[in-house]
Copies of this chain bind each other. A is one copy, B any other.
Amino acid sequence: MDNITDVLIDKIKEKSNPAVVGLDPQLSFIPDCVKESSYKQFGKTAKGASEAIFEFNKYVIDVIAPYVPAVKPQIAMYEQFGAHGIDAFVRTVQFAKERGLVVIGDVKRGDIASTAKCYSDGHIGRVDIDGESVSVYDEDFITINPYLGYDSVEPYLSNLEKYGKGLFVLVKTSNPNSGEIQDLYTSGIAVHEKVGELVANWGKTSIGRYGYSAIGAVVGATHRTQAENLRALMPSTFFLVPGYGAQGATAEDIAVCFKNGIGAIVNSSRGIIAAHTSRKYARFAGEFFTRSVLQAVIDMREDLRGIVWN
């Protein structure tokens, strides 16, 4: 049976590129020429900002769509602008799907069952409005936080199956202090390994054609030893790997997340969408910023091909 991870792997193969572009737009690096008309129409308001980031995303998505299998909008960058921001998030998801991309909603939700059901129905299912079934966010995957345990995950499972959706559960995150809780030792293994075992177990009923579950794991490339252990511990779990680029993961750090050239997708956010602010691509600033996005996404693809398929 095909699951959403099969769809993702097929697209990775089609583009020969195990990369996902994080759509984390920040006003500070969106070129003035993109923001101008939104500000003129709506002012420097939550609505003006939301329109500007949606405009920016459309430019980025149009440029990267031929080269990457997926995008990962980070909802915080939209949610901060309230309802207008959420509207821009939803339109970004829809626009990316229209361009044939798999969409991973980076929402990192985690709550008790009755609440998790709302997140699940809203993001990867359908909400029931007194008999009317309505699709709201409709991402292909979302990220979730495991701290509350299985009953906080269970409300997503029926929607995975019913609507062909997927999850990436935080296991070992890429940030510097991730070890504070995730690396605590418990009966000889680290908390993140215990979480890894749980996630692998939760995913057992949704294994697809390539041998990977619809329930994946977020495993930061910035912690190589841990990533290597998790790769061995979770052979049927697909990894979403943050930490490439700005956060400093090396080629070797990335390589351990794969096996036989598949098993992971590597995220870069600012390294692609804010490429024009780096010295390397500075020649493409201002109205030519889409050329920096294009060059950065191609450079990342070549880099990953060297690492994964060398």
- Cα–Cα distance between A45 and B114 once the two chains are bound (Å): 21
Residues of B within 8 A of A131 (CB): 44
A179 to B, closest residue via Cβ: B149
Residues of B within 8 A of A110 (CB): 108, 110, 145, 147
Q: Would you call A191 and B184 a contact (CB within 8 A)?
A: yes
- CB 8 Å contact bits of A179-213 with B (1 = contact, 0 = none): 11110111100010011001000000000000000
Query: Which of A113-138 touch B at CB < 8 Å?
Result: 113-116, 118-119, 121-122, 127-132, 134, 136-137
Q: Would you call B146 and A46 a contact (CB within 8 A)?
A: no
- CB 8 Å contact bits of A270-298 with B (1 = contact, 0 = none): 00000000000000000000000000000
Give the size of the chain A interface in residues (CB under 8 angstroms).
73
Does A231 reach chain B (CB closer than 8 Å)? no
Residues of B within 8 A of A165 (CB): none
- CB 8 Å contact bits of A226-239 with B (1 = contact, 0 = none): 00000000000000
Q: Which 8 residue pairs of A and B lie closest in terms of their CB atoms, listed nearest first?
A: A80-B122, A149-B177, A149-B180, A83-B87, A44-B132, A76-B118, A184-B186, A80-B118
Question: B-contacting residues of A (Cβ < 8 Å)?
Answer: 24, 27, 35, 39, 43-46, 48-49, 74, 76-77, 79-87, 90, 108-116, 118-119, 121-122, 127-132, 134, 136-137, 145-152, 170, 173-182, 184-187, 191, 194-195, 198, 242
- Besides A76-B111, A80-B119, A110-B147, 6 more A-B contacts (Cβ < 8 Å) are A76-B122, A81-B136, A82-B90, A112-B242, A149-B181, A184-B187
